[in-house]
Structure 1
Amino acid sequence: VIQIVGGIVVLLAILGSLGVGIASLITILNVQTKQNAQFSTPDPTAPTTTDPTKNSIPIAKPIPDNDPRYGAYKGMSDLLRTWMNKTVDPCDDFYAFTCGAGQKGQGMSFDVSDDAITESMLSQLRKAPAYFDNDPLPVRQMKWFYDACLTGADDKTNADHAAKIFNDLKKKNPKIGFPALYPKDTTSVKPDELGGFLGDALGTIGFTSLVDVGVDTDWKDPHNPKGGFALLVDQPATMYQSTYYSKVYDFDSVVSSIVDTINAGALLLGVTDVDQKQVLADAKDVANLDYWLATNYSTDDTTRRQYARSYNPYSVDGLQKTAPFIDWTTFFNRAFQPTIGKTVDGSFRTVVMEVDNLAILSADVISGAISSRAINNYLYIIALNQNYLPDLDTLRKKSAHLQGVLREKRPINKKIRRVPKHDPLERAIIKEFTKIESHCQGLSNNFLTWASTRLYVDANYPSPKDKQTVRDQTNSIIRSILVAMRAQIDILDWMSPASKRGAYQKIDNLVVNIAFPDWVLDDQRLTDYYKKLSTKQDTTYLDQIDQLNAFGLYEAFSPIVNGVPADRTDFSGPSAITNAWYQPELNSITFPGGILHAPFYDYNYPAAMNYGGLGVIAGHELTHGFDDEGVQWEGTGILNSWMDDNSTKSFTKMAQCVVDEYSHFCPLGAGQPCVDGAQTQGENIADNGG
């Protein structure tokens, strides 16, 4: 996934126009000519038309304003001027010269792109409902949700709705108490009680806690015609990650946050006379539990970058013997029945990612080493945080009716793998749209990914020619970079010929997804995809939220019962997003429509600008296929290393060099944590390779 600040695009585009790395480029182009006849490269040994001894470069002739390229050239030229600081000598600080004025100009290139996407989507969503009459039902459902969100997000019934969801969970699980708020509650950690609560929480609200669960391809057998997906059982989904606890842990801040959550829950649920002394004691116990779950009962992120250690197939019966603190059959059935209508037995297959830690956690829960009171409070506090919990300050000001304080939960159909990350709520709104419009458009994009993609495609690529053109143009750049990458691999002296064949196989078998998936343009297929979503135009906003959450859970879990192999052409994300991503378990790279426009790319841009913008993004994502995680997967998305032992040792040495270099970056200053090079090595390798 790309995370590139705006000025980098300018910097790389300028480097491209200056011809940096000519010797390497000549080698690459020579290999490209030999390996792919569709590319025609001039002879690099032919005499040039300029005299290098005079250090002169021909000055390009201005293009007239009636040239088709004029608008694109002028737009990029104006944007470059807002980023460049020409008072800086480029020989002293080239980055400051190219990007130094960016904060005073247009801001980050991603913000420019995000705003353009939001404006494009809102220009459609603002239209009257009748405009959508001829669109497929899912597109109309997205329009209905957007309209309901504009007014429903401030509905005074939000608090009552949130309280109902919480109380329903509590009513279904009477023996799992919340003594921090209800002192008379009983507490239990019996396996059937824990299994029931965790299953209900996952199947109706969509949150995990003591164990995490997700669906991904079956890493060792993704092409199985009877089913290429697996249910992954993972380590605890804690409030704070182990990285936080190991680097910037502040116990008092965590406790304070938990106290606020409990008190917000009291206001939400109408609980009075809360014993604040007991609340503080419970908050400390919960804070300590979260710390231990994230550290002692979890494996660090760096170790988990090795995927083979996490692939441990277990039947439900085997899982029950390994970690008996949960009744796993109850857990899965309570989760799956309301989502995909499935029940499981002891033979149902899972993949357990952290076997040893799960067994230790199980033993400590059963032995009483972790108190049942702390566990029960912990479960409900996470439920409050996950499910529409209003802000405490707002509750104090508006406790009479609690209107306008809804905090929607994010869609839960996220898989345990590298996925595009984008939250329009976190960026500044600087264009001609309101915060609520951006908020509701972002939710529409997240909840109804493929309906949103259809709307975006119809608006931005209205004709068949438009659709084909964006793919042809983008594909030309991608294929050129693939040839260049192959050439660079070819000259590596530390990689054996056999290992190079494995690398070439990854390149040859790479799936390149561009702009949008074809199937969303088929009205019937799009409608069939959303056939279990029953929202109507008069459905209230909060009821639509519930139905969309339920559909999101169906999306998440249905692959394990559909009995189909993994689809390597799966986009795994919407078109209306400024991002790009590589999926190692599919060996695919995806460039959604949202990245295929200015300032990253325009057909009319000079080649240097397109290679410096979209080209560097493509190079970055392609390199992920060969970073420390990518090399663990072969060309069709099977978890199987293709490097021999000697090549692996050399690669590890190279990767360690990157780790060491970035671990010495300490941007926060003395006494503060430095960059964790081991944890960031994948992105660092991709940045350098791209």
Structure 2
Amino acid sequence: MKTAKLLIALFILTGIFFAQSATQNPQQQPGKEPGKPKVVPPNKKPAQTPAKTKTEKVLELKGLDPALMDKSADPCADFYQYSCGGWLKQNPVPGDQSSYGRDTELAERNRLILRNILEKASVIRADRSPEEQKIGDFYSSCMDEAAIERKGIAPLKPELDHIAALKSKDDLADLLAHLHLIDAGAFFSFGSNQDFKDATSVIAEADQGGLGLPERDYYTRTDANSEKTRKEYVQHVANMFKLLGDSPQAAAANAKKVMEIETALAKASLTVVQRRDPASIYHKMPLNDLAGMAPAFNWNRYLRATGTPEVQSLNVAVPDFFKGLQTVLQQQDIASIKTYLRWQLVHDAAPMLSKPFVNENFNFFGKKLNGQKELRARWKRCVQATDHNLGEALGKVYAERAFGAEGKARTLAMVKDIESSMERDIKQLTWMTDATKQRALEKLHAVANKIGYPDKWRDYSAYKVVRGDALGNQIRGSEFESHREIAKIGKPVDKLEWGMTPPTVNAYYNPQMNDINFPAGILQPPFYDQRMDDAVNYGDAGGVIGHELTHAFDDEGRQFDPKGNLEDWWTPQDAKEFEERTACIVREYDNFVAVDDVHVQGKLTLGENVADIGGLKLAFMALMQREEESHEQLQPADGFTPAQRFFISYGQGWCENDTPESLRVLAQTNPHAPTKFRVNGVVQNLPEFQQAFSCKAGTPMAPEKRCEVW
């Protein structure tokens, strides 16, 4: 179901990367990544090099590589170009990507490891374990393109028949419950989530949803590019209806109706910036109150049909949205509702259907929306789909091959160094009172660390995977996950659960769990490289660890207490001081131009910018402390001082090329700034950087006014 994923993507999981494959184009691939998302630390040994194939090149990744630099650039004028200029020139965006960076390079290496695992598991053998059978049969089914083409639209027909059989609005509750269980995101989203006011318990949650475009402002902006996107979207919807068998005239009319309904839902929705405030998406109320907002929908019938345990109250994340939903349900006749549901169904199912559906989906979401030239190879899409549906079964094998206990220990040691830096930083703050400092330290000491992979693996025994049934496996996977999420309602929170799979090249902080999470997929070169010295590893890995830790005290994280409850534990004066300092960062990033006339949104990216700046400062403090405690002076290398190597390593971790289209989507929808500004915007606020490169005051990387929170 959609709610947990939506909140994870927009608030709960604050990951360091922006989850390219999820945010760029979730619809172009068979199966969608969970909206969850670089990070870091020490490894037992360099990640296992996957076997080469005829078509794939295995990259040799290093933590710091002078060949990737542009030494002709002035580091005090444009440090991003100085650190990454060589890499940017050597690595244009591949045709099957809309964005390509150092994280993508590592993700490609990880994907090769996963491919080898899945190809072996897909061979029918008597000694396959139940988990091997599931991941192997899922992957084999996804890769069986001939069978998928033979079946055409037939696998989706039972679901289309469910929609066609809808006779009255009163019966919509049962139908929508079924569609939500199989992950078709119509009208609104529903699922489970931790109670913001009681982080030990899980409650039911209803939230805004039902859109096909990335977020609500795509429906409301009036600039020429937005109007062009909407026109292309309506044509895409019409093309999908034609693939379902509608006449051109009917398809055009139906697409127009879909746009009408989605626009109404969008106008009732909060913006991505508004949703950054936790209080804006927490409104716990009796079930009867929700029924009063949208009486045209039978909520009790819906809850029974989804298998939701009996609830007296739930979180209605955006009450005004459900008032808007009431208007939509009142105004639209049953035929229009069925048209909209058909679209939402095929929109979700397209990646597992035949080529015409896959290609049409890619033509809009990949090419037009993100500037991607070609569809990714099928094996890459099927690896991702398997990871999405059976991520911990696949991740268990991956972790055994690519990670180990020593890697966990080294990562934890670095985390402890960064936490020690944060403790020193909090104690020496001049703008925070002792009372708030004490609460901040309590929260810091309560942060839990999850490294590599879960201590308890997910049980997939209830998930039926049928060899040769690609779409059916996807649907049953969605049902399995939906029922798993709903079953949590009314139960204690499982503190051992992870929000990312082990192969993921990312990391995140969860304010309700008050934990930081580093999957095995990121704990290897170039983000942590045991061949490199501490200056390099603390620059990249340490910066990422510091980033996640600082999220506990950013504009969202600071609103949660040590136990993960939404609580105002700041004095009014300290809160005012914090807001004045973050306002400086908002103004600074508002001035950055992402692409053409589109600026970075300082308010949308605030949490990530606070974490970037504060995290790198903490990592540098930890490096200096490590050097002092070891009584071993760090040595220059490659013509650079240790401090310079630290910052160059950080900069090279963010080398990335993007299509203009993907930068536009990123700037308009994503809480992460473009990577250029995650380098230049950070170092220009750090006197340690300016000292390392002898930057004169007034140069671009040493402005007269700096922003500082932590």
TM-score (norm 1): 0.72
Cα-to-partner distance string for 1:202-240 (whole Å, 9 max, x where unaligned): 13x3223222213211221222xxxx1111111233223
From 427, 443, 448, give the equivalent of 1:511: 448
Aligned to 2:613: 688
- Give the counterpart letter for 1:378 in structure 2: Y
> Shift in Å at residue 112 of structure 1?
1.9
- Give the counterpart letter for 2:104 in structure 1: D
- Give the counterpart letter for 2:600 in structure 1: V
CA distance in 2, matches of 1:535, 1:93: 52
From 129, 137, 147, give the equivalent of 1:144: 137
Aligned to 1:80: 65
> Shift in Å at residue 252 of structure 1?
5.3
CA distance in 2, matches of 1:261, 1:360: 23
> 1:112·1:599 contact (CA, 8 Å) conserved in 2?
no
CA distance in 2, matches of 1:639, 1:92: 42
Q: Classify 1:89/1:489 alpha carbon distance in 2 versus 1 (closer, same or farther; 3 Å).
A: same
CA distance in 2, matches of 1:483, 1:575: 27
From 356, 362, 375, give the equivalent of 2:326: 362
> 1:310·1:353 contact (CA, 8 Å) conserved in 2?
yes
- Give the counterpart letter for 2:296 in structure 1: F
Q: Classify 1:674/1:484 alpha carbon distance in 2 versus 1 (closer, same or farther; 3 Å).
A: same
Cα-to-partner distance string for 1:328-372 (whole Å, 9 max, x where unaligned): 012222233xxxxx564xx54321111234224425643x3x666
Aligned to 1:243: 217
CA distance in 1, matches of 2:176, 2:605: 32
> 1:390·1:405 contact (CA, 8 Å) conserved in 2?
no
Cα-to-partner distance string for 1:488-525 (whole Å, 9 max, x where unaligned): 122222211111111111110101000011223xxxxx
* Aligned ranges 1:452-463 → 2 under 5 Å: 452-461=394-403
CA distance in 2, matches of 1:674, 1:354: 27
CA distance in 2, matches of 1:5, 1:208: 20
CA distance in 2, matches of 1:78, 1:516: 23
CA distance in 2, matches of 1:364, 1:440: 37
> Shift in Å at residue 602 of structure 1?
2.5
> Shift in Å at residue 661 of structure 1?
1.3
Aligned to 2:184: 207
From 538, 541, 545, give the equivalent of 2:470: 541
CA distance in 1, matches of 2:90, 2:372: 16
Aligned to 1:98: 83
- Give the counterpart letter for 1:594 in structure 2: G
From 293, 296, 301, give the equivalent of 1:325: 296
Aligned to 2:193: 216
* Aligned ranges 1:651-666 → 2 under 5 Å: 651-666=578-593
Structure 1 gap segments, 5+ residues each: 7-67, 176-189, 337-341, 396-401, 409-424, 462-466, 521-525
CA distance in 2, matches of 1:571, 1:234: 22
Aligned to 2:389: 447
> Shift in Å at residue 259 of structure 1?
3.8
Aligned to 2:153: 160
> 1:158·1:542 contact (CA, 8 Å) conserved in 2?
no
From 259, 271, 286, give the equivalent of 1:287: 259
> 2:199·2:493 contact (CA, 8 Å) conserved in 1?
yes
Cα-to-partner distance string for 1:448-493 (whole Å, 9 max, x where unaligned): 01101111112124xxxxx321111001111111111121122222
Aligned to 1:419: none
* Aligned ranges 1:18-97 → 2 under 5 Å: 80-90=65-75, 93-97=78-82
2:234 is the counterpart of 1:258 = yes
CA distance in 1, matches of 2:460, 2:62: 44
> 1:216·1:230 contact (CA, 8 Å) conserved in 2?
yes
2:339 is the counterpart of 1:377 = yes
Q: Classify 1:76/1:319 alpha carbon distance in 2 versus 1 (closer, same or farther; 3 Å).
A: closer
- SS at structure 1 position matched to 2:598: coil
- Give the counterpart letter for 1:550 in structure 2: E
> 1:82·1:105 contact (CA, 8 Å) conserved in 2?
no
CA distance in 2, matches of 1:509, 1:157: 55
- SS at structure 1 position matched to 2:595: coil
Q: Classify 1:128/1:355 alpha carbon distance in 2 versus 1 (closer, same or farther; 3 Å).
A: closer
State the identity as a percent: 25
Cα-to-partner distance string for 1:390-448 (whole Å, 9 max, x where unaligned): 999x64xxxxxx8x86979xxxxxxxxxxxxxxxx999999xxx922222211111110
- SS at structure 1 position matched to 2:513: coil
- Give the counterpart letter for 1:330 in structure 2: R
Structure 2 gap segments, 5+ residues each: 1-14, 21-44, 50-58, 92-99, 363-369, 616-710
CA distance in 2, matches of 1:361, 1:115: 42
Aligned to 2:708: none
> Shift in Å at residue 553 of structure 1?
1.9
* Aligned ranges 1:415-434 → 2 under 5 Å: none
- Give the counterpart letter for 2:65 in structure 1: L
> Shift in Å at residue 375 of structure 1?
4.3
- SS at structure 1 position matched to 2:456: helix
Q: Classify 1:237/1:490 alpha carbon distance in 2 versus 1 (closer, same or farther; 3 Å).
A: farther
- SS at structure 2 position matched to 1:300: coil
Cα-to-partner distance string for 1:80-121 (whole Å, 9 max, x where unaligned): 133112333545544322211112346621122112211222
> Shift in Å at residue 598 of structure 1?
0.3
| Residue range with higher mean Cα deviation, 280-289 or 95-104 | 280-289
Q: Classify 1:209/1:143 alpha carbon distance in 2 versus 1 (closer, same or farther; 3 Å).
A: same
From 534, 545, 565, give the equivalent of 1:618: 545
> 1:255·1:284 contact (CA, 8 Å) conserved in 2?
no
> Shift in Å at residue 567 of structure 1?
2.3
> Shift in Å at residue 566 of structure 1?
1.1
CA distance in 1, matches of 2:476, 2:445: 42
From 435, 440, 446, give the equivalent of 1:498: 435
Aligned to 1:635: 562
Aligned to 1:234: 207
- Give the counterpart letter for 1:437 in structure 2: W
Aligned to 2:601: 676
Aligned to 1:298: 269
> 1:261·1:384 contact (CA, 8 Å) conserved in 2?
no
Q: What is the aligned-residue RMSD (CA, Å)?
A: 3.4
Aligned to 1:54: none
Q: Classify 1:518/1:494 alpha carbon distance in 2 versus 1 (closer, same or farther; 3 Å).
A: same
Q: Classify 1:90/1:220 alpha carbon distance in 2 versus 1 (closer, same or farther; 3 Å).
A: closer
Q: Classify 1:428/1:116 alpha carbon distance in 2 versus 1 (closer, same or farther; 3 Å).
A: farther
2:484 is the counterpart of 1:555 = yes
From 297, 305, 328, give the equivalent of 1:334: 305
TM-score (norm 2): 0.70
The structure having more radius of gyration, on CA atoms, is 1
- Give the counterpart letter for 1:445 in structure 2: D
CA distance in 1, matches of 2:506, 2:413: 19
CA distance in 1, matches of 2:304, 2:62: 59
> 1:665·1:674 contact (CA, 8 Å) conserved in 2?
yes
> 1:453·1:575 contact (CA, 8 Å) conserved in 2?
yes
| Residue range with higher mean Cα deviation, 316-325 or 575-584 | 316-325
- SS at structure 1 position matched to 2:594: coil
- Give the counterpart letter for 1:114 in structure 2: A
CA distance in 2, matches of 1:318, 1:592: 40
Q: Classify 1:569/1:88 alpha carbon distance in 2 versus 1 (closer, same or farther; 3 Å).
A: same
Aligned to 1:523: none
> Shift in Å at residue 614 of structure 1?
0.8
Cα-to-partner distance string for 1:525-571 (whole Å, 9 max, x where unaligned): x5xx11212335x45334323322221222332211xx531123322
CA distance in 2, matches of 1:643, 1:77: 43
